[in-house]
Chains A and B, each alone.
Chain A
């Protein structure tokens, strides 16, 4: 995927301000940034969500310009998104939800997907994807659904949020497994503990990609320069000011 100079304004506020990003096929690409930096908005714009149509720039996916395509068309090309706070569906069972995105639904693949997110298939396949699932369970089901699809590119928006710390290893294992099975992953997170799983990492700030490189280096930079955030919480000027990035 190649994102070129993407601009997005919502309610007269700039959200994305010329995003440029290349996600190479087969890679796990980490996108790190503080809350409010525009990561989720970028995810929605890439997926084609209605309220996030960019005013400028273009998105290329698998050789096609998909900027004007609908969510469905993008989905059918093999792009998908695991939402940070996934929707609940009254009356829809986990097995049906998993099957929706699969080209050839099979029970074997569904069970494999649930096991990959540490959920017991016999306990979850028949449960509804509604309010009776806890936030963590719903999140795992979302990741299982994306994993089961064999998508070409999966955008995972904060896959670690809402899941207890002990489960971060499960998430990292799942992401590696997706990549091993040929799915390119754009991993969006504000927690730098997730970044080591990536092959390449980018740092986002105020609607721009401000750094791209080795995940360890981007993580160090984020830890050193972004906490506390000099943009959201300006630091006192010392000796002629501070270096933002």
Chain B
């Protein structure tokens, strides 16, 4: 039973763009969760992954020891194989002082008709530590998935935190992304969200970066495309709360058909030596780009897709 579940989730993982060999390798830190069951965990020196099954999901503590270096990124897989279900993931990441760790997560719901996936993460990036977290989702083609990823992140002095969330293949369903990052002196935070919605998909993205101490840096970036009757709303907020803090909000949204997109960039500065900027652009596909591709013989729909996927890949 567990073996067949494991194989099913590996197949789904592969479909969402992951390489299952990483989840089988004893040299790679990994965690495989299906519904509320932990199907596999692999520990490597310097990293502890401690999962605990709860009623509708899994609570997990991930501890990277101070000064530890992960030679290979840790691979995480969260999935729901049945058509219906609720999955709640409650991770706590503790990245020790001076450590460097990269995590590649895939969340896959290939058969979803009515699936709800909630994640509430607490992340602490220690002094001079670096954490990179890349999360790719695949929600199937029905649009029946509701995903609510939330994170509270603190980055200590000199720490670096990078998060990239991508949902660009298959339907989105409903996405309510909400990350808040507090950055200490000389720390850096970069949040990137990429999503491609169609049908009646609904995308909401809230990215908040608070640059609380001097020389903190932050970038809140989003690349969203919506078509058909999909909607997107992006609220990128960066606060410059200390001397010499530097922040930027960068939002680009492409709209086609009857889709609706909005952007609300918020820039707040509490110290006159801080500098925070924003740019937001919403529009349809650039006509010249479109006509250039059509002059190569591509039909309009294919040309639009090439342009959007390029934007999302950049």
Does A91 lie within 8 Å of B288, measured CB to CB? no
Does A75 lie within 8 Å of B312, measured CB to CB? no
Does A72 lie within 8 Å of B310, measured CB to CB? no
Does B294 lie within 8 Å of A89, measured CB to CB? no
Considering the chains assembled together, what is the distance between the CA atoms of A174 and B201 in angstroms?
48
Considering the chains assembled together, what is the distance between the CA atoms of A90 and B296 in angstroms?
18
Q: Give the A-B pair count, Cβ closer than 8 A.
A: 62
Does B300 lie within 8 Å of A72, measured CB to CB? yes
Does B289 lie within 8 Å of A89, measured CB to CB? yes
Contact with B309, one of A47, A49, A70, A91 (Cβ below 8 angstroms): A91
Chain A residues within an 8 Å CB radius of B297: 72, 75-76, 80, 101
Does A91 lie within 8 Å of B296, measured CB to CB? no
Does A75 lie within 8 Å of B298, measured CB to CB? yes
Contact with B294, one of A75, A88, A128 (Cβ below 8 angstroms): A75
B135 within 8 A of A: no
In the complex, the chain B residue whose C-beta lies closest to that of A52 is B291
Does B292 lie within 8 Å of A86, measured CB to CB? yes
User: Contact size class for B?
Assistant: 20 to 34
Q: Which of B137-186 contact A (CB under 8 A)?
A: none
A130 within 8 A of B: yes
Does B307 lie within 8 Å of A145, measured CB to CB? no
Chain B residues within an 8 Å CB radius of A50: 287, 291
User: Contact size class for A?
Assistant: 20 to 34
Considering the chains assembled together, what is the distance between the CA atoms of A130 and B299 in angstroms?
22
Contact with B296, one of A49, A70, A75, A128 (Cβ below 8 angstroms): A75
B282 within 8 A of A: no
Does B306 lie within 8 Å of A100, measured CB to CB? yes
Chain B residues within an 8 Å CB radius of A89: 289, 306-307, 310
A124 within 8 A of B: no
Question: In angstroms, how far is the closest chain A Cβ from the Cβ of B301?
Answer: 10
Please, what's the 1-or-0 string for A38-61, where 1 marks a CB less than 8 Å from any CB in chain B?
Answer: 000000000101100000000000
Contact with A145, one of B286, B296, B300 (Cβ below 8 angstroms): B296
Does B311 lie within 8 Å of A91, measured CB to CB? yes
In the complex, the chain B residue whose C-beta lies closest to that of A142 is B292
Question: In angstroms, how far is the closest chain A Cβ from the Cβ of B253?
Answer: 13
Chain A residues within an 8 Å CB radius of B296: 75, 80, 100-101, 145, 149
Chain A residues within an 8 Å CB radius of B313: 91-92
Q: Which of A118-145 contact B (CB under 8 A)?
A: 128, 130, 145
Question: In angstroms, how far is the closest chain A Cβ from the Cβ of B5?
Answer: 36
A81 within 8 A of B: yes
Q: List 8 A-B contacts (CB under 8 A).
A: A75-B298, A86-B292, A89-B310, A91-B311, A91-B313, A91-B314, A101-B297, A128-B314
Which residues of B does A touch, CB under 8 Å? 286-289, 291-300, 303, 306-307, 309-314
8 smallest beta-carbon distances between A and B, as pairs: A101-B296, A91-B314, A91-B310, A75-B297, A91-B313, A71-B294, A92-B310, A87-B289
